[in-house]
Copies of this chain bind each other. A is one copy, B any other.
Amino acid sequence: MPFSPSQLEHPIVQAPLGGGASTPALAAAVCEAGGLGFLAAGYLSAAAAGADVEALRDLTDRPFGVNLFAPPQPVPDPEAVERYVRRLGAGAGNPRHDDDDWDAKLAVLAELRVAVVSVTSGCPEPAVVERLHAAGAAVWITVTTAAEARTAEAAGADALVVQGVEAGGHRATFDDATPSDLGLLAALQLLPAATALPLVATGGLVTGRAIAAVLAAGAVAAQLGTAFMLTPEAGTAEAHREAIATDRDTALTRAFTGRTARGIVNRFMREHGPHAPLGYPDVHHITAPLRKAARERGDADGFHLWAGQAHALAQPVPAGELVRRLAAEARAALEETARGTGRV
């Protein structure tokens, strides 16, 4: 039987945080505390993703998940991408259209028999889902609308990660030319008419009360990303941690990667966002050297500060403690609220 989110001791999933914040140590701490830890295979080579899986297995015997980016769509306007390169000027990288080593990563995850494989920003072919099923994996597909939910169920998904517009990082929209702006609670209401699959809710969830809310709304578990980014186990850059701990506004932008994503508003986003073309991962490769340099010099105005809308409430505590604390708060909120509405 593939892993089901209803098997979790605590209904808390640690979101895969591509680009360095997810670490085997973070995922292990979450798993050991009774949640579901996740590794992010995006941006890594297949070999590096496999090494992370093995490192995590040295730290925990519990099931965990690995996230893959779906192969990207063609770039609609290569000239717009070239204009963006010129706009960014010296230090920009070369545009490149690749699939992030999709086939090789699928092979590694099947070979290593990972318990949960989640896919973001597109729907895998049914044959891919079958192949992962044959390797014992549960396949979770991230969706943002009822239409995407229907497509994902038809492809064979075992569960859906429902991402609201509040979420930090990339929007999971299948076609980024028309990203949906559905809030999480609206999506959780609309999806049951489209699918009977278990729903894992994600997007702006940072507190125990918010976890309680999505469970009451019908989700089987809550997936939290930003909430884990200040834990000592996360690989979050220092300048990024400092921004998350403020109450600065977030916004959606294609400035950094050519795909819509939410981050804390900074100079790079303000200056380049209005000019950024649709074009993932080409734009990701263009801006990568600039972002790396900014991160290395601690310049929070020069790289992507991915964060969900409630980032100001993220807590700098060990990840295992955070899982236990959030689960207890969610339980207490549900019991208190049920008692309150039961009084009449």
Q: Tell me the A residues contacting B by CB distance below 8 Å.
A: 9-11, 146, 164-166, 180-186, 188-190, 193, 203-207, 209-210, 212-218, 247, 249, 251-252, 308-310, 312-313, 327, 330-331, 333-335, 337-338, 340-342, 344
Copies in the complex: 2
Most buried by B among A207, A209, A216: A216
Contact, CB under 8 Å: A334 / B331 = no
Contact of A190 among B165, B313, B335 (CB under 8 A): B313
Contact, CB under 8 Å: B209 / A183 = no
Contact of A186 among B9, B180, B186, B310 (CB under 8 A): B310
Assuming the contacts A190-B313, A216-B333, A337-B216, asked whether A181 and B165 have C-beta atoms less than 8 A apart, the reply is yes
Chain B residues whose CB sits within 8 angstroms of the CB of A216 once the complex forms: 209, 212-213, 215-216, 333-334, 337
Contact, CB under 8 Å: B189 / A164 = no
The docked-state distance in angstroms from the alpha carbon of A249 to that of B186 is 12
Contact of A335 among B203, B212, B327, B342 (CB under 8 A): B342
Chain B residues whose CB sits within 8 angstroms of the CB of A309 once the complex forms: 181-183, 186, 190
The docked-state distance in angstroms from the alpha carbon of A313 to that of B194 is 12
Contact, CB under 8 Å: A331 / B335 = no
Say how far A270's CB is from chain B's closest CB, in angstroms: 13
Say how far A247's CB is from chain B's closest CB, in angstroms: 7
Contact of A213 among B165, B203, B213, B331 (CB under 8 A): B213
Can you list 11 A-B contacts (CB < 8 A)? A165-B165, A185-B203, A185-B214, A188-B209, A188-B213, A193-B313, A215-B337, A215-B341, A216-B216, A331-B342, A334-B342
Say how far A187's CB is from chain B's closest CB, in angstroms: 8
Contact, CB under 8 Å: B189 / A310 = yes
Contact, CB under 8 Å: A185 / B165 = no
List the B residue with the shortest CB-CB distance to A328: B341
